[in-house]
Amino acid sequence: MPDDKSYGSSLFYTPVSALKGISTKRAAALRKLGIETWYDLLTWFPRGYEDWTPVSDPADLKNGLEQTFVASVSRKIQSSQRGRLSVQKTSLRMGNSAISAVWFNQPWLTNKLQPGNEYIFHGKIRRDGRFFSVQNPAFDPYDEAITMPSLKPLYPLTEGISQTMMRLWISTVIQSLKDRMPEPLPFWVRRDNKLCAADYAISKIHQPDDSEEADISRRRLAFEELFLVQAGLRLLKQQRLFSRVSRCVQLESAHQSQLETMIASLPFSLTGAQRRAIQEVLADMCLNRPMNRLIQGDVGSGKTVVAAAAMYVCALAGGQAVMMAPTSVLANQHYASLRSLLGNCGQDIILLTGQTKTAERRQVLSGIADGRYKLIVGTHALLEDRVVFDKLLLTVTDEQHRFGVRQRARLNKADEDQQYVPHNLVMSATPIPRTLGLILYGDLDISIIDELPAGRQPIETYTATSADQERVYALIRKMISQGRQAYVICPMIEDGEATELSSATGVYNNLAQNVFPEYKVGLMHGSLKPAAKDQVMQEFYDRKLDILVSTTVIEVGVDQPNAAVMVIENAERFGLAQLHQLRGRIGRGSHRSICVLISDSSDEIARERLKTLCHSQDGFEIAEKDLQLRGPGDFFGTRQHGLPVFKLANLYQDRDIIAEVSRSLDLLFERDPDLQESEHKNVMKVLGDRYGEAFSELAL
């Protein structure tokens, strides 16, 4: 057999149609599940197991339970027709008890079940006094001398593919590939982490004798998956560090003191976490390797000033820095923040978005090209136009989950003609537990701002129903009379098919005309023209609006410290993490802030989720609770992050494994950074075979 220790070998890529019983039609059904080769079948992991441990005594058969029992067939199967239904019947004998068995539309059973023979049956029991019956039981031949595995895998299926077929095909493939599974994990990694071998794991995850074997195998395979993906990310990071050059930011002592002066001129003093983050960023930028750092901090933790400090230092050193935002609303917002943070520092700050008028744009672009402008804020327009920088030292991107890894990579190439890549700083408020960050941001260094500015008032959060409407309006009125502003957030834009949902436009009309005719109410939603959006936001910043009715466009980064009340309609429609982000738009000043979550949902879980927000202000805690209640799903958006999709590993439940993987990879890369030693070569090989495509995209 040629080179069959790798996935490159033809055997693993044998098309499924080479298996007995796989017709063109079934092959097409399998393709819908993404199964085309033997390898795909091997890694089609069970979603659970069915327990086929037989009960030993008929007395243990319980009405309504799905159970397994061994019985002999008493007489030949009788097949009869009832209208369009064919019915197969027989009687089974277990000890002294008779169990009547019935199947529907399975005429072939008459030859399959032989009177006098023993079989093991599995099905839902009906018991009425001393009468037992079972409908449509599954069965296998039974031989006392052969021990049968008591757990049967349950596979995710699609129409036209039965559990029995899937079990048979997968077990055939396991037989054919026995002892040929490649082993990417070095022996010492398996020893340190007590992991079973690849061959054992693959066969036992499909065919465990007991639940312990299934667990051992699952743990090993999840470990392998996380190990390979994380190793790939580390290699990427290494490659970026060593194959590309950034200009070091030359920090003279004069610059240090100018930075201190800037910090001292802020209307607040920095938190310890902010100082630490700034130090980490400066240290990175003073090297000639590109910084790739993530600043992660809950909403309101003050990430912007960290970015501002980094940008300022670049300007002092004679270079340029850009801050990118996903929307023009946010770009405007950042522009305003930077001006207020750095306004007295003698540096021009300029804004470039899709709305920048042609004449102005020409002037801005030429100023960027000749180095006159050093601090630049913008949207994707900065990427799309071929903006030529004079000496770009730093890019800052906000809310990286909106950009995705690929765009992040592209930004780094903005300077490709000029041979240097800029340093890269990413800010994110997505609350991801640290271990998960190692995966999702495996190619970045992370600074965590885990401290909120002092004196922050907690945001009082309450749940309410539409019956409380008048009280909610009274609250808004009271806040506005004290000089505050209010947000009203709605999940949808237009009255569409889901008429029970408040639409932003409908709510706006009602509030502006009927409820608050004395106040100025603004409307903000995704389908407004960019210029109109900017205008509404500007009016809200300038306090020309008392109330802003908005969809979730407002979610990220918008900062008006005077806004102190937020009402969220149909709150059950939002994810908790999203509600937390939304709520973070208030409580940014020193005012007492109140958030009201309106929901008429009677769903128990929905109500409990909302209650979580009333009790916690901690983004991490909220995210965890959300996961617990909702299940992981694609919460962490691995797809969005451009990462390979995990077949087995669960980023939430497998946090322990992620931590173990990280420890092993620390050792591995310390010992053998290029994975050149013979016992590590298979890591590279399998990584390439399995994830090569995904990583080559990431490496762009």
Distance CA 416, CA 413 (A): 5
- Site map for ligand ADP, 631-650, x if CB under 6 A? --------------------
Cβ atoms of 675 and 668 within 8 Å: the answer is yes
What residues contact 621, with CB distance under 8 A and at least 6 apart? none
591 binds ligand ADP (CB under 6 A): no
Task: Kindly state the number of chain residues that form the binding site for ligand ADP, as judged by CB under 6 A.
Answer: 18
Beta bridge partners of 98: 93
Q: How far is the CB of 253 from ligand ADP (least distance, A)?
A: 25
401 binds ligand ADP (CB under 6 A): no
Query: Of 128-157, which residues contact ligand ADP (CB under 6 A)?
Result: none
The amino acid at 120: I
Nearer to ligand ADP among residue 231 and residue 305 (C-beta): 305
Which residue lies nearest ligand ADP, judged by its C-beta? 302
Cβ atoms of 90 and 103 within 8 Å: the answer is no
Among 282, 299, 396, 493, binds ligand ADP (CB under 6 A): 299
* 101-109, 509-517, 557-565, 608-616 -> range binding ligand ADP (CB under 6 A): 557-565
Among 557, 584, 619, 642, binds Mg ion (CB under 5 A): 557
58 binds Mg ion (CB under 5 A): no
619 binds ligand ADP (CB under 6 A): no
**Other CB atoms within 10 A of residue 199 CB:** 16
- Residue 524: closest CA among 540, 510, 511, 513: 540
Q: How far is the CB of 304 from Mg ion (least distance, A)?
A: 5
What residues contact 64, with CB distance under 8 A and at least 6 apart? 124, 125, 126
Q: How far is the CB of 616 from ligand ADP (least distance, A)?
A: 17
Nearer to Mg ion among residue 226 and residue 310 (C-beta): 310
**Other CB atoms within 10 A of residue 15 CB:** 12
Query: Of 440-469, which residues contact ligand ADP (CB under 6 A)?
Result: 453
Cβ atoms of 249 and 422 within 8 Å: the answer is no
Tokens 């067939």, residue? Answer: 73
Q: How far is the CB of 320 from ligand ADP (least distance, A)?
A: 22
- Site map for ligand ADP, 302-331, x if CB under 6 A? xxxx--------------------------
Nearer to ligand ADP among residue 590 and residue 653 (C-beta): 590
153 binds Mg ion (CB under 5 A): no
What residues contact 516, with CB distance under 8 A and at least 6 apart? 473, 476, 477, 546, 547
585 binds ligand ADP (CB under 6 A): no
Cβ atoms of 383 and 414 within 8 Å: the answer is yes
Among 213, 224, 443, 559, binds ligand ADP (CB under 6 A): 559
Q: Which option in ligand ADP, Mg ion, none does residue 548 bind, with CB closer than 5 to 8 A by kind? A: none
For 68-106, b where at least 16 C-beta lie within 10 A, e where not — what string? Answer: bbbbebeeebebeeeeeeeebebbbbbeebbbebebeee
Nearer to Mg ion among residue 383 and residue 426 (C-beta): 426
- Residue 356: closest CA among 341, 368, 340: 368
Q: How far is the CB of 643 from ligand ADP (least distance, A)?
A: 25
* 13-21, 211-219, 265-273, 514-522 -> range binding ligand ADP (CB under 6 A): 265-273
Cβ atoms of 29 and 161 within 8 Å: the answer is yes
- Residue 305: closest CA among 279, 342, 272, 280: 342
Binding site for Mg ion (CB under 5 A): 557
Binding site for ligand ADP (CB under 6 A): 268, 270-271, 274, 297, 299-305, 429, 453, 557, 559, 561, 588
